[in-house]
Amino acid sequence: MHNSDIEVIIVGAGPVGLTLACELRLASIRVTILERRPQRSAHSRALTIHGRTLEMLGLRGLDQRFVALGTSLSSGHYAGLDTRLDFSGFDTPHPYTLFLPQNTTERLLEERLLEDGVAIVRGALVEQTQQDDDGVTVAGTHDGAPFCLRARYLIGTDGARSLVRQQAGIAFDGVAATCSMLMGDVRLRHPPASPMLSLTNAAGSLMIVPLEQGRYRVITLNARRPQVAAAEAATVEELSQASTAIADYDFGLHDASWLSRFNDETRLARRYRQGRVFLAGDAAHIHMPAGGQGMNVGMQDAMNLGWKLAGVLKGYAPDSLLDSYHAERHPVGVSLQHNTLAQTAMLTRFDAHTLALRATISDMLAQPDVNRALASELSGFGVRYPISLGSDASAGSADWIGRRVPDWLLRLADGTAVGIHELLHAGKWLQLVVGNAAHTAQPYRFDAAWLTSLTIKPGCQPLAGIKSLLIRPDGYADHAV
């Protein structure tokens, strides 16, 4: 393993690290990915890709690779309540969640990197990290042999026990685990009639989700054994007993390909940036996997950081742009922490008081505005960034700052019809100028090589009343005039 003028080292080759590497390679940044595992995991692990994450992949022309292999469902759950969240009304090409095993997600992202000539360095155990004013040094062993690498920046996407986070001295605040759940990927002789079963009563909670090739994910929390040591081996018999206690039936579960335990430990990094070191994904936030949000928030962390880091390394933007990563994504982590703690309270307690609370909140979700508010949060469609990065936008419309821009169809000056998201495939800023309006200054502090500027015909309804719209590489409006 050699330095070869590395610009960014990423520790961890899960979906978050791979997404970040894809974004950096789009700008031809020299990146090295270090992964301690000798090969990609064979287990399904995270299953849910939310609509905003698919939309984010679509910003780079990658979404259909994932959609083609997954199963879509237009609803989701909040704390396993009877009234489901409705994603079907969002203005997006992906008004649903996609069930796709994490190992498939990783394979598709890795294939994209291989197209750019980037290979993951597997079997690389990082043991020491250090930074100075000019860069970072990472040392460890690769297949038993020592290595030492130097780069401009270091990104920790190395999970809940992140060595990168620990050696950067970043606190990981939160609450310790109070319960544990049992999960298994199994076959069912008698699967439930509904595509997704969720059941909670005094005996505990049970969720069954269809996987591929006739398998199902079964998740249980047995009210009689709410906390089990992680070291205790998980068995099919235990999963069957818990399912039977809750549903009076185990659905004929058998032939487990994977059994695991997880808990509700919830923590959030106090800072996402420490000098030349950054955190993303589980290295920055962990929680009960309620609503399937963790991988999605992590992948969205990665895109937010990726285009900014690429812009700074290319000399298009000042280093101060990188401070906006923490400023924008840490509040999303806080929101994630709050909603998963709230769901955990309802998912893991089975007394009469909590069951009554579940029924009350479920009834409230039948109100469209309440349902949409929580659906926006879990899906990622509700994320909005409050500050303009590209300019002093005080003269523009405050209504546009930080808004997610849907894939609206535009008519260019030459008559060509094109979707906004297609125009962002190159990972550059996008300026849309309506008709004969004067072009505003090109993205202010940013070099013109990082900008696509196009004139569109007047009459595009979503852009009515504005002269120009500046859109960030991650598909959020910077501001409008």
Q: Verify that 242 and 295 share a domain, yes or no.
A: no
**Side by side, which strands form the sheet with 71-73?**
48-49, 97-99, 71-73
Q: Verify that 124 and 38 share a domain, yes or no.
A: yes
Domain boundary among 348, 383, 415: 348
Cα 202 from Cα 272, distance rounded (Å):
40
Mean pLDDT by 10 residues, the chain (481 residues): 86 98 97 95 88 98 97 94 97 96 96 94 97 97 95 98 98 95 96 89 94 91 86 92 96 95 96 98 96 96 98 93 97 98 95 96 98 98 92 72 95 91 96 79 66 88 87 94 87
Cα 185 from Cα 332, distance rounded (Å):
30
Asked if residue 286 lies in contact with residue 71, where contact means CB atoms within 8 angstroms, the answer is no
Q: Verify that 272 and 418 share a domain, yes or no.
A: no
Asked whether residue 424 is assigned to any structural domain, the reply reads yes
Run of H or E residues at 150: strand 145-151
Structural domains of the chain, count: 3
* Residue 405: per-residue pLDDT: 97
Which CATH number do you get for residue 219?
3.30.70.2450
Q: Verify that 397 and 475 share a domain, yes or no.
A: yes
Distance separating the N- and C-terminal Cα atoms of the chain = 50
**Taking the model in full, what pTM does it have?**
0.95
Domain boundary among 348, 365, 380: 348
Q: Verify that 166 and 190 share a domain, yes or no.
A: no
Q: Which positions ≥6 away from 95 have C-beta within 8 Å?
A: 51, 74, 87, 88, 89
Asked whether residue 88 is assigned to any structural domain, the reply reads no
How far are the Cα atoms of 43, 281, 303 from residue 156, in angstroms, in the given order?
22, 9, 14
**Rounded to the nearest 5 degrees, what angle is found at the Cα of 260, between the Cα atoms of 259 and 264?**
150
Q: Verify that 417 and 320 share a domain, yes or no.
A: no
Q: Verify that 414 and 302 share a domain, yes or no.
A: no
Backbone angles phi, psi at 340, to 5 degrees: -75, -35
Asked whether residue 134 is assigned to any structural domain, the reply reads yes
* Residue 444: per-residue pLDDT: 53
Domain boundary among 211, 229, 263: 263
Q: Verify that 288 and 219 share a domain, yes or no.
A: no
Q: Verify that 32 and 153 share a domain, yes or no.
A: yes
Tell me the DSSP string of 215-272.
Answer: EEEEEEEETTS----TTSPP-HHHHHHHHHHHHS--TTEEEEEEEEEEE--EEEES-S
Domain that holds residue 209: 180-263
CA-CA-CA-CA torsion sign (376, 325, 447, 137): negative
